[in-house]
Structures are given as structure tokens and as C-alpha cells.
């Protein structure tokens, strides 16, 4: 039986767009009211969680967040501040536009006080991960992989230079592994109650639904990281689609996901993380659309290389760092499919540092880095051709010609 389409008529499309626009408008006004509250006084005082810390020569730049604001400011370098601490701080609101408010901004701090070492569940997991490793680079790596805690600028550049930043940002692959583990942990205990009290229910569907609830808490724990939010919404929609015989892997489902996210969180319009995640899935769907007939073994290898090469013009518009080691990125991606679940297992059974010395060798590897930037003109054309490749195989061939030309200029 053929899969159904979620939106199959113009009337349904118009209704959906009206609902999305209404939600977007409501949330945009909600953000504006928060902005007006922030601007009410020239000095704004509140308590925030410390998301990240950037060391400068004479001071610390810190990224702060609460349920109202997310921004950067600076404080005295002598303060004993850690990620996930809470700090009460007064900052200047003067000069911050609504546009700045949405996309994130830097402002000067006036004074701060009451740095709190809050013992939340997230902080306990954070401290536990830190206690399992000695090197700061490795602590940051696993806190990023498991809790989506941002890593320092220096360490982030290591992953950028290797071309594996996408592996560190929690998204679809990470969520699929975590959801599989949750499913397995819940399946057999639930089976006990299912067989005795409600055998008439669909056991797998029930466990999947419970898994989604657990994942929702995990999403909250990671402060609604855009790439993870995209993955969670697509995972939840996939559950609904499968129950309703609606096609899961489609450009339509991706577009619906994007519109839902932007309508709920207008500030994510300015999130590079979200757009990278959306474009990554877009190219995966484009690959499936045109290369689905390839033999499976060949497809696994070719897929990782094609995704790497097709995404390079997008990545290098924002991050020009280039190295010949980036050509190994597809192999790192294949290896990561084993590494990530293995590390989850090692952390659960008490052998978290088993591979630390090898990871450290990798992270300390020195490479020659140069810069290759995608011009705005080429970027716009490339994105447009990528989109129209959905509808035309000839345009898809043109896309492949462009990606070959770009990657040759990058590495040769």
C-alpha cells in the first residue's frame, strides 16, 4: 500500500500555513514583550545559567541563559566559575535592538554576585563525567556528546580542522542511538506489565511513546539545542507518520519540521546549528531520492563521501578552516557509528577512560590549516541549485558538477 501525504490538498496546505503563521506571530510577540521587559531599565538584573566560558587575556567572556535571555558578557578572570553554575548579574540593556535580542548579543556587565554551585541532575551528570576523565579536552568532548554542553573555542577548532564538527553536535544519529538504548531498557520491564494487564495494546508503540517522553526530558536537559530539537521533532513526527501510514523520509516532513521549530522559537531563525542540521538532512534525503538503487554496501561508503563533499560549500561559507585531514572525515563518520554507542556503554559500566589515551593522541595531532571560503555569490547559487535538484535530475547533475569543482579548488 502506498504511503499517504500529510498535506495533499491546497486547502490543507493553506490551513497548515495559517496555523504555523499564527503560532509564529504569537511567539514573536512573546519574544518582543520579553525584549521590552529587558529594555525597561538601563541596567537589567537577573540570574542565569553559565553555558560556556571563553578565556581572554584579562577577563572571561561567558555565555549566559535563562528562560528569558541568552547572551554574552564578561567578568573578572579571577572568579572561580564553572559551566552550569548560576550567577546573578546586572548588565546594560542600552544599545540592544530587538534583532540583536533574537539572534544573541554581547553586553557589558555592571556587577555580579552570588555565584551558585547548584546541584541539579544535569550538574551531577556533568561532574560525574568530569570525574571519569583527567584531561580537559576529553571532559569537554564527552560533556558535549552526552549533554550538549558547548566546548571551548580552541577545542572547537580542533573538530573544525578535522571536518568533524557535525559529529560533536548532538543531532539525528546521537538521538537514534540514545532512543534505541531507552527503548531496550524499557521494552522488557514493560513487557511484564503488558502481558498481565493490557495485552490488547501495541507493545512497541507504547514503548516508543514512553521513549519519546524520556527524550523530551533529555531535550529539556540540553537546553533545547536546535540540532537536537530538529531531530526530536522529526523522530516524534515519524512515530505519528508510521501510525498513520504517512511517508516518513520526505522533503515535506523536513519542511514541516523547520516551520514548526521556527514558529515555536522565532530566535532559531538565526541559529547556524539549526540550519546546518536542516541542510544535512536535506542532502541525506536528496541522496536517498537519487541514489536509493545503489547496492547497500557500496551505498554506505559512497553516502558518507558524497554527504561530506556536497556539504563543503555550505560549511566553508561560515567556517573557512581547511586541511587535507578533512578528506578523512567520511572515514571518521563511519568510525563514529561504532565509537559513540561504545562510549555510552563504557561510561555506563565504569570504563569511561579506557580509550582516553588514544583520543588524546588524536586531539593533540598537529596539522597544517589554510583557509578556503565560499563566496556569497557561489553560496546563493549553490543553495538554489540544491533546492531545485529535488524536481530535476539535470539540475541534480549540475549540483554534482559544482560540488566537484568546489572540492577540487579546496584540496588541489
Q: What is the pLDDT of residues 3-52, one digit of tens each?
A: 556 677 788 889 999 999 999 999 999 999 999 999 998 999 999 999 99
> Is residue 226 located within the same domain as residue 294?
yes
> Is residue 258 located within the same domain as residue 331?
yes
> Is residue 218 located within the same domain as residue 310?
yes
> Is residue 302 located within the same domain as residue 366?
yes
> Is residue 109 located within the same domain as residue 132?
no
Contacts of 393 (CB under 8 A, 6+ apart): 290
Q: Is residue 12 a part of any domain in this protein?
A: no
> Is residue 95 located within the same domain as residue 152?
no
pLDDT at 1: 45
Q: Is residue 305 a part of any domain in this protein?
A: yes
Instruction: Give the model's confidence band at 58: pLDDT under 50 very low, under 70 low, under 90 confident, else very high.
Output: confident
Q: Is residue 9 a part of any domain in this protein?
A: no
Contacts of 327 (CB under 8 A, 6+ apart): 411
> Is residue 62 located within the same domain as residue 104?
yes
Q: Is residue 17 a part of any domain in this protein?
A: no
Rounded CA Rg of the chain: 23
Residue 386, burial from CB neighbour count under 10 angstroms (0-12, 13-18, 19+): buried
Beta-sheet strand order (sheet of 43-55): 70-76, 59-65, 43-55, 86-92, 109-116
CATH value at residue 74: 2.40.50.140
Last residue of a domain, one of 94, 118, 142: 118
Residue range(s) defining the domain that contains residue 92: 41-118
> Is residue 186 located within the same domain as residue 68?
no
Q: Is residue 13 a part of any domain in this protein?
A: no
pLDDT at 305: 94
Q: What is the pLDDT of residues 244-275, one digit of tens each?
A: 666 667 888 899 999 999 999 999 999 999 99
Last residue of a domain, one of 118, 149, 176: 118
Last residue of a domain, one of 96, 118, 140: 118
> Is residue 106 located within the same domain as residue 181?
no
Helix/strand/coil (H/E/C) assignment for every residue in 320-373? CEECHHHHHHHHHHHHHHHHHHHHHHHHHHCCCCCCHHHHHHHHCCCCCCEECC
For the record, the C-alpha cell of 80 comes out as 572561580
Amino acid at each position: 500500500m502506498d504511503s499517504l501525504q500529510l498535506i495533499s490538498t491546497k486547502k490543507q496546505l493553506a490551513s497548515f500555513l495559517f496555523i504555523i503563521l499564527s503560532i509564529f506571530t504569537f511567539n514573536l510577540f512573546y519574544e518582543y514583550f520579553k525584549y521590552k521587559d529587558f529594555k525597561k531599565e538601563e541596567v537589567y538584573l537577573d540570574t542565569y545559567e553559565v553555558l560556556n566560558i571563553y578565556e581572554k587575556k584579562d577577563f572571561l567572556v561567558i555565555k549566559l541563559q535563562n528562560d528569558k535571555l541568552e547572551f554574552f558578557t564578561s567578568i573578572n578572570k579571577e572568579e572561580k566559575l564553572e559551566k552550569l553554575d548560576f550567577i546573578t548579574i546586572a548588565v546594560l540593556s542600552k544599545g540592544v535592538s530587538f534583532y540583536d535580542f533574537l539572534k544573541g548579543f554581547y553586553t557589558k556587565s555592571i556587577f555580579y554576585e552570588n555565584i551558585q554551585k547548584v546541584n541539579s541532575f544535569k550538574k551531577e551528570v556533568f561532574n560525574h563525567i568530569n570525574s571519569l576523565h583527567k584531561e580537559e579536552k576529553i571532559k569537554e568532548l564527552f560533556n558535549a556528546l552526552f549533554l550538549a554542553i558547548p566546548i571551548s573555542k580552541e577545542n572547537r577548532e580542533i573538530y573544525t580542522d578535522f571536518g568533524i564538527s557535525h559529529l560533536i553536535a548532538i543531532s539525528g544519529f546521537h538521538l537514534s542511538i540514545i532512543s534505541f538504548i531507552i527503548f531496550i531498557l524499557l521494552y522488557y520491564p514493560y513487557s511484564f506489565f503488558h502481558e498481565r494487564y493490557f495485552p490488547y495494546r501495541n507493545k512497541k508503540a507504547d514503548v516508543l511513546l514512553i521513549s519519546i517522553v524520556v527524550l523530551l526530558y533529555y531535550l529539556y536537559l540540553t537546553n533545547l539545542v536546535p540540532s537536537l530539537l530538529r531531530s526530536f521533532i522529526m523522530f516524534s513526527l515519524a512515530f505519528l507518520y508510521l501510525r498513520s501510514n504517512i511517508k516518513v523520509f520526505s522533503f515535506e516532513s523536513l519542511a514541516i519540521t523547520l516551520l514548526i521549530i521556527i514558529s515555536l522559537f522565532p530566535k532559531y531563525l538565526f541559529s547556524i546549528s539549526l540550519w546546518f542540521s536542516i541542510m544535512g538532512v536535506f542532502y541525506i534525503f536528496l541522496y536517498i531520492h537519487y541514489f536509493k538503487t545503489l547496492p547497500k554496501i557500496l551505498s554506505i561508503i559512497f553516502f558518507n563521501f558524497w554527504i561530506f563533499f556536497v556539504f563543503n560549500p555550505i560549511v566553508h561559507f561560515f567556517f573557512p578552516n581547511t586541511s587535507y585531514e578533512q578528506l578523512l572525515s567520511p572515514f571518521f563518520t563511519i568510525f563514529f557509528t561504532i565509537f559513540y554507542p561504545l562510549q555510552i556503554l563504557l561510561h555506563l559500566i565504569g570504563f569511561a577512560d579506557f580509550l582516553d589515551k588514544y583520543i588524546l593522541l588524536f586531539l593533540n595531532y598537529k596539522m597544517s590549516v589554510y583557509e578556503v571560503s565560499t563566496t556569497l555569490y557561489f553560496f546563493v547559487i549553490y543553495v538554489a541549485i540544491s533546492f531545485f535538484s529535488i524536481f530535476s535530475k539535470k539540475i541534480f547533475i549540475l549540483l554534482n558538477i559544482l560540488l566537484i569543482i568546489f572540492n577540487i579548488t579546496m584540496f588541489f
